[in-house]
């Protein structure tokens, strides 16, 4: 204060400055430093939670041993308490050994345990009331109960060397460490359980992905089967009937053919019958899915499926190319089905209506969408197709017969995508469809 000389008592907080008081002050400072070191050890022990329960309990007993310079430290949980938590007990010796009778990978079996340590372990495991429900403080021994949610679930004990007396600050440190360690031990067990659940979920997710791949493969196989069946029906209902009618007409005109032309007529009839036989064989091969279903061949990829669609729809003289851009990956089932159906319909139109001699099918993968282009060199007019499509959408009965165009646009728009008809660089028509891969982007246009 102003005008006064401060004395030593006001600076150190002591009433006198006797030598005994200085020794007391120094002893307090030493204990405070030891407590601060112990608190640092406690914080280091508690961060072991993520390493698992075993690492946490090891850190706890080593922190107690280092703080007290203890000869023995024991941590144990009573039988029937925290049944899903392990390890159930752990013992640390002053020479650095970690021991346990069972359940701890880093520990060795106990040897030469002093009777007080062994008896205390048995008392805690059996849940002895007089040991569990209160602290024990002696010159060279400390014990505090381990509590959780108001109930005693175990105990933490330490024995010091003859030259190391315990004091109230040591009891406070053990109380803090026992309380926090129990909560951290439960959290560590929950953390381990959460990791186990996460691993199980990852396995289930992989199983679901594998199932999705199988369903996509089955869908591709079914789509090819449907295309084969459709072609078989068209061959039977149109081409087959035409060939039969041609043969019948030749038979009917036999009486009107001069004798010199009968040989040629008979040859034409035989050729017609042979063609009909080959046609029936082709229809049977296209319709019979039994052999293909039983065959142990792997299901086709989307690229292989597009190749087969080209082979099914285009004449043998036509050239077809399937190209892929970007990083190929499994598509959602509805997206893949739409891509393949739009491609199949486009190929059918290119072969039947546009009389194309070359077709290029391109699939482009992006992060948020997949795009399809089918280009041909046929005689189709993009503008006329767009007019027909608009008329069909407006309810025109004549235009509505062109269901292929309507189906393709509907498949794309139902999944939140787009459908366009353009002039192809090959000279014919380009069918372009873009489908979003994000579920949130899908909707009905």
Give the pLDDT confidence of 158-206 residue by residue, as tens digits. 999 888 888 777 888 888 878 777 776 777 667 777 888 888 888 888 8
Indicate whether 20 pLDDT > 60: no
Q: Average pLDDT in the 100-104 region?
A: 83
CA distances from 282 to 239, 279, 288, 399 (A): 12, 5, 10, 33
Q: Which residue has the higher pLDDT, 134 or 412?
A: 412
| pLDDT value, residue 230 | 67
Q: Residue 442 has what pLDDT?
A: 46
Find residue 419's DSSP bridge partners: 433
Contact call for residues 147 and 176 (beta carbons, < 8 A): no
- Quickly name the fold that domain 16-194 has: Beta-Lactamase (3.30.450)
Q: Tens digits of per-residue pLDDT, 260-298?
A: 677 777 767 776 766 666 556 665 565 565 444 444 455
Please report the pLDDT score of residue 11 as a whole number. 44
Question: How long a stretch of residues is the chain?
Answer: 445
Token reading at 106: 């880093």
Instruction: Give the neighbor-by-neighbor strand order of the sheet with 369-376.
Output: 319-325, 358-365, 369-376, 429-436, 418-423
DSSP 441: G
Tokens describing residue 20: 């005994």
The answer to whether the beta carbons of residues 301 and 213 sit under 8 Å apart is no
CA pair distance 171, 31, nearest whole angstrom: 12
Which residues touch 167 (CB under 8 Å, ≥6 apart)? Answer: 31
Residues 115-152 have pLDDT tens digits of: 999 999 999 999 888 777 888 888 899 999 988 888 88
Range among 23-37, 289-303, 382-396, 411-425 rated most confident: 411-425
pLDDT score at 238: 59
The mean pLDDT value for 37-64 works out to 70
Query: Phi and psi at residue 71, in whole multiples of 5°?
Result: -80, -30
**Between these two residues, 84 and 153, which has the higher pLDDT value?**
153
> Cα separation of 261 and 188, whole Å?
99
pLDDT band at residue 415 under the 50/70/90 scheme: very high
Interatomic CA distance for residues 166 and 171, integer angstroms: 8
User: What is 375-396 written as a DSSP string?
Assistant: EE-SS--HHHHHHHHHHHHTT-
Query: At CA 389, angle to CA 386 and CA 392, rounded to 5?
Result: 150
- What are the backbone angles phi and psi of residue 444, rounded to the nearest 5°? -100, 120
Task: Look at residue 153 in the predicted model and tell me its pLDDT.
Answer: 87
Report CA dihedral (63, 69, 70, 76) to the nearest 10 degrees: -10
Task: Look up residue 152 and give its two tokens.
Answer: 């005693």
**Dihedral sign for Cα atoms in the order 321, 324, 330, 331:** negative
Confidence of residue 216 (pLDDT cuts 50, 70, 90): confident
Burial of 70 (0-12, 13-18, 19+ CB in 10 A): buried
The tokens describing 374, both together, are 């089918």
Nearest of 321, 48, 373, 15 to residue 181 by alpha carbon: 48
Q: Are 370 and 418 in contact (CB under 8 A)?
A: no
What is the three-class DSSP state of 268? helix
Give the closest residue to 222 by CA, choosing from 296, 304, 312, 289. 289
Q: How far apart are alpha carbons 25 and 27 in whole angstroms?
A: 5
pLDDT tens digits for range 312-360: 788 888 899 999 999 888 888 889 888 988 998 899 889 888 999 999 9
Residue 12's pLDDT band (cuts 50, 70, 90): very low
Q: Enter the pTM of the model.
A: 0.45
Cβ within 8 Å of residue 221, ≥6 positions away: 292, 299, 300
As a whole number, mean pLDDT of residues 404-415 equals: 90
CB within 8 Å of 400: residues ≥ 6 apart? 392, 406
Averaged confidence pLDDT in the chain? 78
- pLDDT band of residue 57 (cuts 50, 70, 90) is confident
CATH of segment(s) 300-445: 3.30.565.10
Pairing of strands 369-376, 429-436: antiparallel
Residues 6 or more apart in contact with residue 358 via CB below 8 angstroms: 318, 319, 320, 321, 376, 377, 426
Query: CA-to-CA distance for 48 and 53, rounded, in angstroms?
Result: 8
Task: Please report which helix (H) or strand (E) contains residue 136, including its range.
Answer: strand 136-138
Instruction: Map out the domains of the chain as residue ranges.
Output: 16-194, 300-445
User: How far does Cα 384 stand from its chain's mean position?
Assistant: 47
Q: What is the pLDDT of residue 323?
A: 94
| CA gap 170, 71 in Å, rounded | 15
């Amino acid at each position: 204060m102003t005008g006064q000389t401060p004395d030593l008592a006001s600076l150190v907080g002591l009433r006198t400055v006797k030598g005994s008081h200085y020794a007391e002050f120094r002893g307090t400072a030493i204990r405070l430093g030891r407590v601060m070191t112990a608190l640092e050890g406690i914080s280091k022990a508690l961060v072991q939670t993520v390493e698992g329960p075993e690492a946490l309990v090891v850190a706890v007993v080593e922190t107690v041993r280092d703080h007290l310079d203890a000869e023995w430290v024991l941590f144990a949980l009573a039988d029937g308490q925290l049944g899903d938590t392990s390890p159930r007990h752990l013992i640390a010796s002053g020479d650095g050994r970690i021991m346990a009778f069972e359940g701890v990978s880093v520990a060795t079996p106990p040897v030469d345990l002093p009777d007080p340590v062994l008896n205390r372990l048995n008392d805690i495991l059996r849940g002895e009331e007089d040991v569990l429900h209160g602290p024990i403080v002696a010159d060279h021994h400390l014990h505090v109960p381990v509590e959780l949610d108001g109930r005693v679930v175990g105990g933490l004990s330490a024995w010091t060397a003859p030259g190391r007396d315990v004091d109230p600050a040591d009891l406070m440190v053990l109380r803090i460490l026992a309380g926090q360690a129990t909560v951290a031990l439960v959290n560590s067990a929950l953390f381990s359980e959460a990791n186990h659940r996460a691993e199980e979920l990852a396995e289930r997710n992989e199983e679901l992905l594998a199932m999705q791949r199988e369903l996509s493969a089955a869908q591709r196989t079914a789509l090819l089967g449907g295309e084969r069946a459709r072609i078989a029906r068209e061959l039977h209902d149109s081409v087959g009937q035409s060939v039969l009618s041609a043969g019948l007409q030749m038979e009917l005109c036999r009486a009107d053919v001069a004798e010199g032309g009968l040989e040629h007529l008979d040859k034409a009839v035989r050729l017609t019958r042979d063609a009909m036989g080959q046609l029936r064989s082709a229809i049977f091969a296209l319709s019979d899915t039994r052999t293909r279903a039983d065959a142990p061949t792997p299901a086709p990829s989307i690229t292989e499926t597009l190749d087969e669609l080209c082979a099914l729809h285009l004449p043998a003289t036509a050239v077809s190319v399937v190209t892929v851009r970007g990083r190929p990956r499994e598509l959602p089932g509805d997206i893949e089905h739409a891509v393949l159906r739009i491609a199949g319909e486009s190929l059918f139109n290119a072969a039947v209506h546009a009389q194309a001699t070359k077709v290029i099918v391109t699939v482009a993968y992006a992060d948020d969408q997949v795009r399809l282009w089918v280009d041909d060199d046929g005689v189709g007019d993009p503008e006329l197709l767009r007019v027909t499509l608009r008329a069909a959408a407006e309810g025109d009965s004549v235009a509505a017969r062109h269901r292929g165009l309507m189906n393709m646009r509907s498949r794309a728009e139902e999944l939140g995508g787009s459908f366009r008809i353009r002039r192809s660089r090959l000279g014919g028509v380009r069918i372009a469809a873009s489908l979003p891969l994000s579920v949130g982007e899908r909707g009905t246009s």
